Copies of this chain bind each other. A is one copy, B any other.
Amino acid sequence: MQYVKKVKLGLLGAGTVGQSLIRILEKEKDRILRNHGVLLEISKIGDRSYEKKELLKSYHCTKNLFEVIEDQTIDIIIELIGGINPAKELILKAIENNKSIVTANKALLANYGKEIFDLIKQKQEQKIPVTIGFEASVGGALPIIKNLRRIWSFGNIHSLVGILNGTCNFIITKMEEGLEYQEALKIAQEKGFAEADPSFDVSGKDAGQKLAIISSLGSGCWIEEKDIIIEGIENIQKVDHQIAHKWGMVIRLIAICKYIKNQLLLRVHPALISKNHLLADVKNEFNALFIEEEYSGSTFIVGKGAGGFPTASAVLADIMSIASGSTNPWFMEYKNIEIIKDAEYRFYLRFQTIDKPGVLAAISRVLADFEISIASMHQEEGEEPVNVVIFTHECKESSIYKALEIINQKKDIILAPTIALRVLN
């Protein structure tokens, strides 16, 4: 084969994903050359504990990450260290050095993406073919990012609705099978689906950062993590799953970006959805996304949202795009769009009360004060705390929050903070 491009890679961070990438490149070098006409070479690896890693023995390694981005022979920098610092500085300097970037860093893009994209735009306007690939930042091996700039990019995105955090989905679907939160979390940790400190995932923050990235691409506006209302799964108990089940529903941590009358709804929260909903079939560590766009219609995609090899596949896909000459301009309008602060939902409320006459009256009086209309009310049998479940008609989130603040203060009848979950159609 005569038409072969040589592409030199600089890798920052050789953790799980970085090492998976190295393994694929070692094993599939010939296939990649054959299929893509590209010869990939890892020229330098920046990793602070490279000496401890057997796999890195035959590579040129350094503890000084800046040495990698200063290397003039390197074409593409692959940033897999994560977090804001020093990733941000490294990426900006690498772009200044006319290197293209491939990154899985959702935290950075969801908070400082604009700065990075602006610098790339400057370079592109000078006709310097620098670009960025970040397929791996959202949904692991699910091809979401590139397609939001390709096949789903020609008309308005009506909505993006997905399950973007595999840890939460694993825990939630294990709870569905009968485990309590802590038991499910422990299994997730044993299987490597959850960190020792799981708060970044279970708080919904990880899904929020991913939603910021795809909402930006989908809306053409720059959405940041702080623009999104985020709620986690930490307070949900097994009994909530059992009650949901009784009503033909399941609980999922849902990320939503949706246009409603030219305003944008941006939310990450657990929600009750019908068992017949396609997202109800998404179980364990899988991720999924619904895309509703003007011309392509509805598309639904499910796959491995995390893990070494799936994420490395996404990194490698970006590398191949850049290597095959695509300059992928990521122009954004940075137009202002109004973000919906207070939306209306049906709510599932579970009050944990003492077993005494007058409790229901006290709760329903407060709900009435905030014009929250009750669709149905059910008292579950059992020991104290007694679970009183209320499904509301559509009402404002703010009304729910205010009402619950008052109700939760009634320590004489309310024994634990009330669980409030949105019910999606």
Contacts and interface: CB of A to CB of B under 8 A. Distances in A.
A215 interface: no
A333 B33 CA distance: 11
Nearest to A123: B3
Contacts of A113: none
Interface string A329-373: 101110000000000000000000000000000000000000000
A140 B152 CA distance: 12
Interface size class of A (residues with CB under 8 A): 35 or more
B321 A150 contact: yes
Interface in A36-76: 36-37
Contacts of A301: 299-302
A307 B300 contact: no
A2 B35 CA distance: 35
A398 interface: no
Interface string A310-331: 1011101100110011111101
Closest A-B pairs by Cβ, 6 of them: A141-B296, A299-B303, A326-B326, A297-B304, A151-B317, A150-B317
Contacts of A196: none
Nearest to A316: B154
Interface stretch (A24-32, A86-94, A200-208, A379-387): A24-32
A146 B281 CA distance: 26
19 contacts: A3-B329, A31-B154, A31-B155, A34-B220, A35-B332, A36-B149, A141-B295, A141-B297, A143-B151, A143-B299, A146-B146, A147-B317, A151-B317, A152-B313, A154-B316, A296-B303, A296-B304, A296-B310, A301-B302
Contacts of A333: 34
Contacts of A246: none
Given A154-B31, A300-B301, A331 B295 contact: no
Interface string A203-245: 0000000000000000010000000000000000000000000
A124 interface: yes
A197 interface: no
A412 interface: no
Given A1-B125, A36-B153, 4 more contacts: A32-B154, A35-B220, A151-B316, A295-B310
